[in-house]
C-alpha cells in the first residue's frame, strides 16, 4: 500500500521503515501511528521479512515526540483513545516476533522515545538526545513510556527522566541501558546495517522464542517464565533450522537457516 508518512523498503530479509515528516521533526500524529500499525502488521505475516530497521527522516530527529498541534485539540475521551492507539502500535512493534532495531539518528523525545523503547534494540548516534519531557507540558507519557522506561532503566533512572523532563545525551542513555550501543553519527547506518544483516541470517524460530520469552513471559512470575522458556526451547527441536544449526556446528560450516 501507499503510505503518506512512512518510507518503506525490503531487501535481503531486512525491512527499513523511515518516519517521513522531517518538517515536523517526524512527530507522531494519528495518521503516522495508523500507518506504523499497518506496516508492522504486514511485516508480521511476511515470511521474507527477518528483521526491521526503524528510523526517522532528515539529520535532526528520529522522532521528536507526539504531534502537539494535534494533541491540544483533543477532548479527554479523544486523548484516551489516542493514547490507546499509540499503546497498541508500540505493543505490536514489541511483540512482532522479529527483531526491530531503532536507529536513533537524532532527537528521540516523548512519543519518539516510547517508539524506540518498543524496539528490540536501540542503536544511537553520538549526537542523539533522548528524553520524556511530557511533564513540561503538564502531561505524562501515554504510549507505554512509564512502563518500558521502568523495565529498561530501573525505577530511579526512569523517574528522573520523567519527573524532571530533561533530555539526556547518548552516552548517558547507554550507561543507563536505554541505548544498546552508541555509534558515531556518520557511521550509524553502517553499524545498524551490520547488526541487521547478522540478525537476518539467524534462525527465525529461535529469534521469536527469545523475543517472546523476554517480552511476554518476562513480565510474569519467575516460575511461569521458566516454564515458558523450557516449552519454547523444546519446540525448537521440531524445526529444520535447529537440525541445520546442529549439523553445521558439527560439520564446521556456516548454517543456512530458512525459517523452517
If pLDDT is split at 50, 70 and 90, which confidence band does 220 have?
confident
Per-residue pLDDT at 4 exceeds 90: yes
CA–CA dist 26, 104 (Å, integer): 12
% of the chain beyond a pLDDT of 90 = 94
Q: Cβ(241)–Cβ(205) under 8 Å?
A: yes
Per-residue pLDDT at 245 exceeds 90: yes
What is the rounded average pLDDT of the residues 200-217?
94
CA–CA dist 19, 59 (Å, integer): 12
Per-residue pLDDT at 157 exceeds 80: yes
Architecture label for domain 204-250: Orthogonal Bundle (1.10)
Q: Cβ(26)–Cβ(4) under 8 Å?
A: no
% of the chain beyond a pLDDT of 70 = 100
Q: DSSP secondary-structure letter at 28?
A: B
Cell numbers at 61, concatenated: 530527529
Q: What is the model's pLDDT at position 218?
A: 83
Q: Tens of pLDDT along 229-243?
A: 999 999 999 999 999
Which of helix, strand or coil describes residue 47? coil
What is the rounded average pLDDT of the residues 9-13?
96
CA–CA dist 134, 234 (Å, integer): 44
Per-residue pLDDT at 185 exceeds 90: yes
Q: What is the model's pLDDT at position 219?
A: 81
What is the rounded average pLDDT of the residues 79-96?
97
Q: What is the model's pLDDT at position 154?
A: 95
Fold (topology level) of 6-200: 2-enoyl-CoA Hydratase; Chain A, domain 1 (3.90.226)
SS3 assignment for 79-143: HHHHHHHHHHHHHHHHCCCCCEEEEECCEEECHHHHHHHCCCEEEEECCCEEECHHHHHCCCCCC
User: How far apart, in Å, are the Cα atoms of 161 and each of 9, 92, 142, 150, 174?
Assistant: 34, 25, 15, 10, 14
Q: What is the model's pLDDT at position 216?
A: 87
Instruction: Write down the domain spans for the chain.
Output: 6-200, 204-250
Residues assigned a catalytic role? 114, 134
Closest CA to 128 of 67, 191, 68, 82: 191
User: How far apart, in Å, are the Cα atoms of 224 and each of 210, 218, 228, 230?
Assistant: 15, 9, 6, 10
Closest CA to 43 of 30, 27, 32, 54: 54
What is the rounded average pLDDT of the residues 97-104?
98
What is the rounded average pLDDT of the residues 135-153?
96
Per-residue pLDDT at 1 exceeds 80: no
User: How far apart, in Å, are the Cα atoms of 130 and each of 78, 81, 100, 185, 225?
Assistant: 27, 25, 18, 15, 31
CA–CA dist 240, 108 (Å, integer): 40
Q: Reduced to 3 DSSP states, what percent helix, strand and coil does the chain have, rounded to the nearest 5? A: 55, 15, 30
What is the rounded average pLDDT of the residues 214-224?
88
CA–CA dist 168, 183 (Å, integer): 16
Amino acid at each position: 500500500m501507499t503510505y503518506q508518512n512512512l518510507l518503506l523498503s525490503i531487501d535481503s530479509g531486512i525491512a527499513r521503515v523511515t518516519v517521513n515528516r522531517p518538517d515536523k521533526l517526524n512527530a507522531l500524529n494519528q495518521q503516522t501511528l495508523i500507518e506504523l500499525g499497518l506496516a508492522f502488521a504486514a511485516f508480521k505475516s511476511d515470511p521474507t521479512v527477518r528483521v526491521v530497521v526503524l528510523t526517522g527522516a532528515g539529520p535532526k530527529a528520529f522522532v521528536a515526540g507526539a504531534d502537539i498541534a494535534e494533541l491540544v485539540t483533543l477532548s479527554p475521551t479523544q486523548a484516551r483513545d489516542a493514547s490507546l492507539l499509540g499503546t497498541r502500535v508500540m505493543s505490536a512493534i514489541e511483540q512482532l516476533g522479529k527483531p526491530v532495531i531503532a536507529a536513533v539518528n537524532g532527537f528521540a523525545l516523548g512519543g519518539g522515545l516510547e517508539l524506540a523503547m518498543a524496539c528490540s534494540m536501540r542503536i544511537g548516534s553520538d549526537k542523539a538526545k533522548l528524553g520524556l519531557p511530557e511533564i513540561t507540558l503538564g502531561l505524562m507519557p501515554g504510549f507505554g513510556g512509564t512502563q518500558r522506561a521502568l523495565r529498561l532503566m530501573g525505577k530511579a533512572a526512569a523517574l528522573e527522566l520523567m519527573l524532571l523532563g530533561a533530555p539526556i545525551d547518548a552516552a548517558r542513555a547507554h550507561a543507563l541501558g536505554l541505548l544498546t550501543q552508541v555509534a558515531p553519527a556518520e557511521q550509524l547506518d553502517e553499524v545498524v546495517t551490520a547488526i541487521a544483516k547478522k540478525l537476518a541470517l539467524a534462525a527465525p524460530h529461535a529469534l521469536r522464542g527469545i523475543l517472546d520469552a523476554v517480552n511476554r513471559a518476562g513480565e510474569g512470575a519467575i516460575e511461569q517464565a521458566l516454564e515458558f522458556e523450557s516449552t519454547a526451547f523444546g519446540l525448537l527441536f521440531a524445526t529444520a533450522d535447529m537440525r541445520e544449526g546442529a549439523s553445521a556446528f558439527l560439520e564446521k560450516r556456516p548454517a543456512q537457516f530458512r525459517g523452517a
